[in-house]
Amino acid sequence: MGETSTEFTQRERIPVGIFNSAELACREVADAIEALIRERDGADMPTVLGLATGSTPVGLYRELIRRHREGGLSFARVITFNLDEYYGLGGDHPESYRRFMQEQLFDHVDIEPENTHVPDGLVEREEVYGACRAYEEAIREAGGIDFQILGIGRTGHIGFNEPGSGPESRTRLVTLDSLTRRDAARDFLGEENVPRHAITMGIGTILEAKRIYLLAWGEAKAGVISQSVEEAPTDTVPAGFLQVHQDCRILVDHAAAAQLTRVRHPWLVGPVDWTPEMIRRAVLWLARKTGKALLKLVDEDYAENGMADLLTEQGSAYELNINIFNTPQHTITGWPGGKPEADDSHRPERADPFPKRVLVLSPEPMDDVYCMGGTLHRLANQGHELTVACQTSGSLAVPDPDLRRAVELLDEVARGQGGEKEAAFAASLRRQLVAKGQFGEDSRDLRYLKALIRRGEARASGRLLEVDADRLRFLDLPFYEQGRYRRFQPGKADVSIMAELLREIRPHQVFATGATHDPLSVHAICFLVLCQALDLCREEAWTRDCRIWLYRGPGAEWEAHEIDMAVPLSPDEFENKIQGIYQHQTQRSQSPSLDKGSSSNTWNLASLINRSAADTYDQLGLAEYEAIECFRKWVPDSWRD
């Protein structure tokens, strides 16, 4: 996809290509890299690549490996320089960037080991400066970087150039931003294990590359992409300094493009096709922007905010306001499973059948209560046949101190009451815990124990929400059991477990997360597995009477125009939900997707989100509630006729 500049891209200071998927974008980057390598090989010259780690380039590296294996693309004359490395980690540490590069690319292509460069994370403190200068010198000696791949962090960092890094910065030791450390916490199995420092190429170093491609996938990057592209560069969003580069491109998927003006508010930059969906989006945005209730918007509000043509098309603000007002009004329901024997013509969910067979999917234990605890309570309480399935065991998210407590408890029980076998098992667990150390991987037994801890929490939480323990299912999808964060590889076994459950329940309603912002996240993979399972079932009769409702996922909520069902919670129901979340004791300090600058922990973030959804409805001039949980209706492509 080209980056032709039009009136819609007038605010963009770096060319941005928006792709239908990360995969397609990666293919385009691989095309460019392949062309360069072949051209250089032809001229008997080396190709110097600047490489990044993290989730973003994984697809690109897989594509390059494929081309090496199937298309004879050779890396024999390629020289690489990686952007960064955690300070304090050796190359064999599972989270070191050296190890990442070996596993994701170098071990699978014919690159000469001595041609691969990753900053040394173990260099003595007093030698760091010299090592950084030597790294820069090596880049220069190689002829400079021909082609630099970048990802972007939610802080706006490129490499590990956190906010505060200037355009002149060079390769150096830096302190990691707290948000960056939090984002890495899952990979390191706990924030306390994430190194505090890293060695990174500077922005000045990066800007010397001849050509730069920055890649970003998923909605978590959308905000920082639009800031980098549309705002004047400042130290607070270091990626913005790429604006001065003469040959820089940004490649994003639709989710990462979502905050660009041309996507988010296209009516501000050019003429738009006023479809009902676009009108809904624009009018709800206008109400939020002006701080006015929908029914109080006047012609001037429309005219002053790029929507004069809509007014002309539709007559007057008065008519537009009324039409739009009805839409969010009709999303509100206290009957998420449908209200039996009621007129359902203006309700989000149908009245019949009643009771419904309802399947609620929770990628990890707690996502269900976190994102839809109030709704879950209502579904149970209103008599539906509810099944809550935790797709993965969630064992990876149990911090070690909680594991240690469980091991000690088992040990004490075994000593007090148990026989020899129990005592031996407890002692073996203790040994395994010691052997694992701070950074090691959990043994199978330890991981199993962690999974059991999370099951216990899920049951305790379910009890508060009137979801009996026998309504809970623990699928323990194999991709999770066999994987590690960012290294998950979902497969057929996962899909068939999911499909089997769907076939057994034949649900009238499925509630699942639509959080696909990080394609390698547990949430996105669980959604992918669900999609594939739904595809397998597409011919089955139950699918014709099944509705799928997506909750947005932890840490965020749907935007007003995306909401198809809004379930209000009274203060008591809301408090009950919060108590349900508290039962997940091991998750008290896990914070999967907090926004930049937020100091909240996972627990109070849930209440902020539900309260702010209620504020949105209130501000639009609808009813005023304590809290609201929101859902979006979704139909898999393969189910559409």
Tokens of 6: 């039009």
Residue with the CB atom nearest ligand F6R in the bound state? 151
| Shortest distance (Å) from residue 201 CB to ligand F6R | 9
Nearer to ligand F6R, 81 or 574 (CB): 81
| Shortest distance (Å) from residue 152 CB to ligand F6R | 6
Quickly tell me which residue has 């189910």 as its tokens: 639
| Shortest distance (Å) from residue 226 CB to ligand F6R | 16
Is the separation of the CB atoms in 414 and 387 below 8 Å? no
Is the separation of the CB atoms in 601 and 589 below 8 Å? yes
- Taking phi over 0 as left and psi of -120 to 50 as alpha, with beta for the rest, 571 belongs to alpha
Q: Measured between alpha carbons, how far is residue 68 from residues 37, 38, 117, 550 in Å?
A: 12, 12, 20, 40
Q: What are phi and psi of 475, to 5 degrees?
A: -80, -25
| Shortest distance (Å) from residue 197 CB to ligand F6R | 14
Quickly tell me which residue has 């560069």 as its tokens: 233
Nearer to ligand F6R, 97 or 511 (CB): 97
| Shortest distance (Å) from residue 22 CB to ligand F6R | 11
Nearer to ligand F6R, 51 or 560 (CB): 51
Q: Among residues 12, 95, 162, 457, which one is catalytic?
A: 162
For residue 541, which amino acid is it? Answer: A
Cα 374 from Cα 382, distance rounded (Å)? 12
Tokens of 223: 């905000």
Contact residues for 39 (Cβ-Cβ < 8 A; gap 6+): none
Q: β-pairing, 627-634 with 385-390?
A: unpaired
| Shortest distance (Å) from residue 450 CB to ligand F6R | 24
| Shortest distance (Å) from residue 269 CB to ligand F6R | 28
| Shortest distance (Å) from residue 365 CB to ligand F6R | 24
Nearer to ligand F6R, 53 or 261 (CB): 53
Nearer to ligand F6R, 135 or 160 (CB): 160
Q: What are phi and psi of 473, to 5 degrees?
A: -125, 140
| Shortest distance (Å) from residue 211 CB to ligand F6R | 17
627-634, strands of its sheet edge to edge: 472-474, 385-390, 357-362, 509-513, 547-551, 627-634, 565-569
Nearer to ligand F6R, 61 or 574 (CB): 61
- Give the burial class of 127: count Cβ atoms within 10 A of its Cβ; 0-12 exposed, 13-18 middle, 19 or more buried: exposed
Is the separation of the CB atoms in 147 and 32 below 8 Å? yes
Q: Is the dihedral of CA 461, 465, 470, 476 positive or negative?
A: negative
Q: What are phi and psi of 90, to 5 degrees?
A: -80, 165
CA geometry: angle at 168 spanning 164 and 172, to 5°?
Answer: 70
Nearer to ligand F6R, 52 or 501 (CB): 52
| Shortest distance (Å) from residue 95 CB to ligand F6R | 12
Residue 162 appears among annotated catalytic residues: yes
Nearer to ligand F6R, 216 or 433 (CB): 216
Cα 104 from Cα 61, distance rounded (Å)? 6
| Shortest distance (Å) from residue 173 CB to ligand F6R | 15
Is the separation of the CB atoms in 363 and 391 below 8 Å? yes
Tokens of 228: 């980098």
For residue 133, which amino acid is it? Answer: R
Cα 399 from Cα 590, distance rounded (Å)? 9
Is the separation of the CB atoms in 80 and 49 below 8 Å? yes
Nearer to ligand F6R, 151 or 348 (CB): 151
Nearer to ligand F6R, 363 or 519 (CB): 519
Cα 580 from Cα 355, distance rounded (Å)? 24
Nearer to ligand F6R, 49 or 158 (CB): 158
Cα 631 from Cα 361, distance rounded (Å)? 13
Cα 340 from Cα 618, distance rounded (Å)? 27
Closest CA to 290 of 635, 620, 622: 620
Cα 510 from Cα 295, distance rounded (Å)? 34
**Alpha helix segments (H runs only) across 382-521:** 400-416, 420-436, 444-464, 478-481, 492-505
Residues in the site for ligand F6R, rule: CB under 6 A? 52-56, 83-84, 97, 151-153, 157-160
Q: Measured between alpha carbons, how far is residue 376 from residues 372, 503, 550, 558 in Å?
A: 6, 22, 13, 18
Query: Which residues have a catalytic role annotated?
Result: 162
